[in-house]
Amino acid sequence: MAISPFEERYRTEMNEALDDWNKIKKWMEVEVALAKVHAKMGTIPKDAPAKIEEAMAKVKPERVKEIEDEIHHDLMAMVKALTEQAGDAGKHIHLGATSYDIEDTATALIFRDAIGILEKHMDSLSLVIKNLAKKHKKTVCIGRTHGQHAVPTTYGLKFAIYYQEMKRNMERLMAAKKRIMVGKMAGATGTMATFGVMGPEVQRLVMKELGIEAAKASNQVIQRDRHAEVMCVLAITAATMEKIAKEIRNLQRTEILEISEPFGKKQVGSSTMPHKRNPHKTERICSIARLVRANVITAIENIPLEHERDLTNSANERAIFGESFIAVDYMTKQLTTILEGLEFFPENIEHNLELTNGLIMAERLMITLSNKGMGRQEAHEKVRTLAQQAFREKRNLKDLAKENKLLSDKELDEIFDPKTYIGAAEKIVEDATKE
């Protein structure tokens, strides 16, 4: 059985992009690109790159593992396995390169593919959120601040906020993608000594072959601020999804129950309480988000490597890169499914709007009094006093306002209709979702 839940339980198509065998294949792609540049420059035979490229398909993961068990070096295990299959051209593999010329350049290729997968799924999620915003732009509900009833808002506005945040996450991801799509062919300390004066041109041409940029300066590794930035963006994206999931969880509470994650006909909520409809899918999203955030700490600590590099980043990156990409991809797909099947309970939304006996309209009453000539502070104190009385005596604030003849009955009836106190919410939703 798998040790990591990301191998099976939370598996997505992202796994193939991040698994060890794909990493080795990317290493071989970089080796082929290097060979092609050598051939163009006349440092190896013209037919060598084609032979090396053909040999890639013959390399087996078992053989690479077998060699690594003998020599204890994963990159050189790949080089030896590829050399075995390339015939005479094998002697030209890895010419002038150091391990991390290959590994870090391949990591850029892997990140490019992984971000591409995530981009597709984030687009799908954003579309679902956008549609919910538009569909519910007139669904008035109570807004809450500090966990308390505040003033009315709409579900459309909630989702419009999420939609805009997901757009920003996509922008962050694209900016980070640009900075992570960078490779190097600079040797052991970044001087390109093995390639001589042609080093910068070798590096430029290899990266052009692979479709990525060349690092303007590096040591033995691509600097880890680039990788840390991607990890931070993944964590921010995870936090956005956690925010949405947490809102669903809280609004699914028995006492509130305005919305709910979908619950299947045969789904079991509890092993002992048959009635339970636990929000376990949204809870799972919140749980996984913590792991993604935790991995950011490790990624940031990988930035200050010693001198021209040490190996303290290597082992943990085998875990954090794959975990974080797969986790965020899983969260994205899971949240998309949840939102597609999100249940609304209009009667409870309506009930909760009236739960405080009109107290949520105190702000509107105060503003109206101020607009009619009463000083703002006087209006605030007058309404505050009546609101506290209404709370203590469990009476409706509108009734107390009528008794105190603050305004006409008709005016007060209009003021205390929560569905007419949503300001520009509809227009905000329309503007936020029209891109």
Q: Which residues are catalytic?
A: 146, 270
CB 306 within 8 A of CB 258: no
DSSP symbols for 283-297: HHHHHHHHHHHHHHH
Q: Which residues contact 103 (CB under 8 A, 6 or more apart)?
A: 27, 75
In the structure encoding, which two tokens stand for residue 156, read together? 């459309």
Nearest-10 crossing angle of helices 314-340, 225-251: 30
How far is the C-alpha of 304 from the C-alpha of 307, rounded, in Å? 9
CA distances to 174, 400, 401 from 371, rounded to whole Å, are 48, 20, 16
- Residue 435 CA to residue 427 CA, distance in Å, equals 14
Question: Within 13 Å and on the Cβ side, how many CA atoms surround 320?
Answer: 24
The two structure tokens encoding residue 277: 């409809």
**Dihedral of alpha carbons 278, 280, 285, 288, sign:** positive
Distance CA 195, CA 38 (A): 10
Token look-up 């870090």 returns 104
Of 114, 113, 155, the C-alpha closest to 131 is: 155
Instruction: For residues 244 and 432, give the distance between their C-alpha atoms in angstroms, rounded to a whole number.
Output: 17
| Structural tokens at position 172 | 């962050």
Residue in 366, 352, 351, 370 with CA at minimum distance from that of residue 401: 366
